[in-house]
A and B are shown apart, each in its own frame.
Chain A
Amino acid sequence: MRFQERHPIGAGLLALSLAAVLWLPCLHLLFQERLDAFYVPDGMAPHARALAQRHTTLWEDPASRAVEIRKMRTSNAEWDFMGRTFLVLAYANMGLRKPDAQTRYLALMDTLIEETLRLERAHGLFYFLMPYAREGTFVARPARSLFQDGEIALMLAARRLVEERTDYRPLLTARVDAMLHSMRQSPVLSGESYPDECWTFCNTVALAALRMADALDGTSHDAFLKQWVETARRRLTDPGTGLLISSYRIDGSPLDGPEGSSLWMAAHCLQLVDAAYAQDQYARARRALGRRVLGFGYAREWPTSWRGPADIDSGPVVPVLEISAGSSGLALLGAGAFGDRAYLTALLTSLNYGGFPVRRGDTLRYAAGNQVGDAVLLYAMVQGPLWRAVRQRSDGKKATLDATARAERPADTDSGKRSVTP
Chain B
Amino acid sequence: MERKRNRLEIIHDILGVIKEKQGKIKPTQILYKSNLSHIMMNEYLDELIEKQFIKEEKTKTGKTYLITEKGIRYLDEYKLVTNFIDSFGLNE
Q: Is B one of A's binding partners?
A: no
